[in-house]
Structure 1
Amino acid sequence: QGAQLGDGHNGGLTALDEKALLQQCYTSKPYNTQHSIRKSEAVVSFSLQEDVAAERRKQAVVEQVMVDQLSRAVISDPEQSMRADAYKEAPGFPGLGTAPMCFRKRTLHETKIRTKSGLTENMLSNKLRFDSRIISRNGRDACRELIGFFFACDRSLTVYEFRQFGKNRTNALPFIQKGVYQHQRGQKKGKSYDLSDFYIGANLTFRSVDHNLPESVKQKPVLTLRVISIDEAAMDFLKMTSMEFKEEISKQVADDSKVFKKIQGVLRDTLSKRGVRVITGLGKYFRHTDKNRNGFLSQADFKEALKVFHLEIPEEDFESLWLILDDNKSDKVDYGEFSRAVFGEMNEYRKAFVRKAYMKLDFNKTGSVPMVDITKCYCAKKHPLVLAG
């Protein structure tokens, strides 16, 4: 679940501390008990409404996927408008030629076009639905609402993006077209996805050039999607019906996890005193060092960064970490992946709340939120768990 990081104090008040003290009179105490109860009830009611709306969006995407896979090939097939033999039974009046294309019968039961796929609705119903997010430093891409489906019948998968246009118009558009895909990173590189690859926290990797993706996403050769939730009921059903499901974790994956946890344990004491300053400072340092603006740095760059911020990692552990992260043997590693491995990550349940809050602050969908807006709306210094450490 990642290391829990806290911000320490060195005695003096920082600018953020002064702002927090300034807003305490507005945010620390409710007006009275009755006001507090009403406020709590309103929050619960609003949260329930959001959950219902989210479930409706997912159901709309499910219906759109079934429509796309079962009927779009027939209804939208361009050959249907060109083939003359499909309309031999509907000639025009004698001497007037054939009827214009817009007046010809093009209903589904009249067409002569056949679908290339033999999939049926019953076969496609054996699917696993999962929610995912893009791992990206681009705020707009990171907040895209992606809903994916893994079909057990042919081990194919597809990912749709739910988009809202204005207040009333919504649509579900294909983000990753349905197909059989292989891992592009990690120990399973080159192997096709199967049911055991889908769990909360799993990474799904795709070649960016193989898909019609936004330009901001195509800047990296590999697109990484993080699974943030799955349909547990569907997973249990598919596990029972699948004869090939294997849930065991490979020895290599377990060893990699041990390396990450060992390094995080070494740094935990240091980060507990100045964690926020170190993480934000390292982020600025990495961006400044990244002259190519591609997000990748060399081993020497990372070692120098750790030295600047007085973070000591044993050489043997650092080499083990580098072998895991540099799986392409390119001598360069994405500094976002490096940070997640060294510091750990917030679990996906908690991160879902962070994304929700971020999207509310970024109501214009610009991909960034000013720090002043965050400090005005969020201050956890009075929270009992924060006070307890």
Structure 2
Amino acid sequence: MTTTAKPTFQDFLDWIETRRKEGQVVYGEQAQAWTVLGHPEVNEMLSEPTVFGSDITSAMPQVDDELSLFSKGNFVQMDDPRHRYLRGTVSRAFTPKMVANLEPRIEQLTNDLLDAAGTEFDLVDALAYPLPVIVIANMLGIPISDQALFRQWADALLDQDVPQDKPVADVRAELFAKMAPVMREMNDYFLAFIRDRRRNPGDDLTSKLTQVEEDGKKLDDEEIIGFVGLLLLAGHITTTATLGNSLLTFHENQDAIAEVRADLSLLPAAIEEVLRLRTPFPRVARVTRQDTVLGGKEIPAGQLIAPFLTAANRDERVFANPNRFDLHREPNHHVTFGKGIHVCLGAPLARLEARVALRIMFERYSDIQVVEDKVEERNPFNMVAVTKLPLVVRPV
């Protein structure tokens, strides 16, 4: 799809279903890559990292040095054994106990931010962006006074046009050429911060990363850039998107949300259904590491392949009435946070932040209305999220 106007979420869903008519696993001649739409097929891909690798550099042309620098510590795009070691170095910061211990702080932040918001406010500006940024920045030791800068980076990286009628390799090269200045600014910022933490360590996660050793050798500053950048950006973007997507979905499903208001124990199920219907990261990328068969299609080694999480989450073979918000959907085996060795490390934190923030909003406000004609959304081929969600609320 190439258009001068930003595609809507419905445009994206229509594109998916048009492709699905060709099959659940489709090779795109224009994109020169495979698209995987079905839930069982995506599930199989995510569960077999030895067949479907996350390090796609072998299938893509060399990109800008700034991205290469950022990628040195980006374990999301690595395969084992390197991935296993690097992910293990940060996983201790996201244990169930450590995440649960953050709940009082998340409650306090949510109430403080909403106290300052009034009765007419933009959800993203007032709560959905600052809440997770403050939480993850505090974990990393990064100054929260720079949160406006972090938002600029996220907007610049996520608001790019992603044409679907050009080779993926060409699109990727064009995107990274546009993003190089932002990547350079990010790398310079993180490198200076990491070097300061190495000289003046504290009790934060970044300081701990400077002390990590692999085979008797500490991670160098350049390797830590990808760690810190990934945790900061991914650590807030998913929650920001989930909060906005939740309020928008709740607005569209008033009867179901009335049921949640009457019984807040249903809130976690409501959030899971939002995550299924409005999957924040719509797709990921893999490369075949060997000849394989997926969905009845023979795929040679070295092929770029994109599992569409949004499409998998709306596969009618798995989800009855897949386009319907069903508060009581059971089971709800969505793949929003991935599966297998690359399952989202921050998923428990994102769920906790969403649950706490939405519960407090329901407790504080007897009515929450979205100003529909002023809602602004991201390009859904990049990310399914709102950038503006004006609300009018009525305090209890």
TM above 0.5: no
Q: TM-score, normalised by structure 1?
A: 0.29
Which has more helix, going by share of residues?
2
Q: TM-score, normalised by structure 2?
A: 0.28
